């Protein structure tokens, strides 16, 4: 007997796997973007002051590069994107590289393990940066890339030197303890 009008069913549970993958991807996007600091905090004009000297500037740069590293990586990629608008091949290569950045750096919630060795975030950041530069240089947009990287380096260095770092919490637990205890530390000017 034929069952007319019956909806055929699949013998394998691929929709459940696809839904699980989408759910995990959403979770990874949220947790990956959690490493990005709020742009409002990054561009807090009350925290922008001229450093007191060379060593103060170097200290601020080190602290801000560590604290805002995901924001700075997004900034460099955005400036690189803008410089490649008139080089479609380079833009396609950059788009593919952005996918690598998203999955290997921004959305990864577990340490990367290659051949049994755990790779830290800084190494992944450096490797992806070098891969991005090399692949884009192979598309013959060398001057655009070098100009955009120089521009990004100058802008981000200026920001990192000018952005006061004494009101940043590098240790998230310390921030949570301070907020939950009702004590707020106000930076001295």
Closest CA to 42 of 11, 2, 74: 74
Regions of the chain short of the pLDDT cut 50: 14, 171-189
Alpha carbon 63 to its chain's center:
16
Question: Phi/psi of residue 152, each to 5°?
Answer: -60, -45
Q: Counting Cβ atoms within 10 Å, is residue 141 exposed (0-12), middle (13-18) or buried (19+)?
A: buried
Q: 133 with 149: CB under 8 angstroms?
A: yes
- Rounded Cα gap, residues 93 and 97, in angstroms: 6
The pLDDT value recorded for residue 182 is: 38
Give per-residue pLDDT as tens, 75-116.
Answer: 888 898 888 888 888 888 888 888 888 888 877 777 888 898
The pLDDT value recorded for residue 175 is: 43
The pLDDT value recorded for residue 150 is: 93
């Amino acid at each position: 007997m034929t069952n007319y009008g019956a909806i055929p069913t699949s013998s394998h549970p691929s929709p459940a796997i696809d839904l699980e993958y989408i759910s995990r991807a959403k979770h990874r996007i949220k947790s990956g973007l959690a490493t990005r600091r709020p742009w409002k905090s990054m561009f807090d004009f009350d925290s922008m002051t001229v450093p007191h000297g060379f060593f103060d500037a170097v200290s601020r740069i080190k602290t801000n590069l560590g604290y805002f590293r995901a924001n700075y990586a997004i900034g460099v990629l955005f400036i690189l994107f803008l410089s490649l608008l008139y080089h479609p091949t380079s833009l396609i290569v950059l788009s593919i590289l952005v996918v690598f950045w998203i999955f290997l750096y921004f959305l990864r919630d577990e340490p990367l393990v290659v051949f049994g060795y755990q790779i830290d975030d800084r190494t992944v950041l450096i490797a992806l940066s070098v891969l991005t530069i090399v692949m884009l240089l192979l598309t013959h947009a060398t001057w655009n890339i070098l100009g955009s990287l120089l521009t990004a380096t100058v802008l981000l260095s200026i920001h990192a030197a000018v952005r006061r770092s004494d009101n940043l919490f590098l240790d998230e637990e310390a921030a949570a303890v301070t907020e939950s205890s009702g004590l707020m530390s106000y930076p001295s000017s």
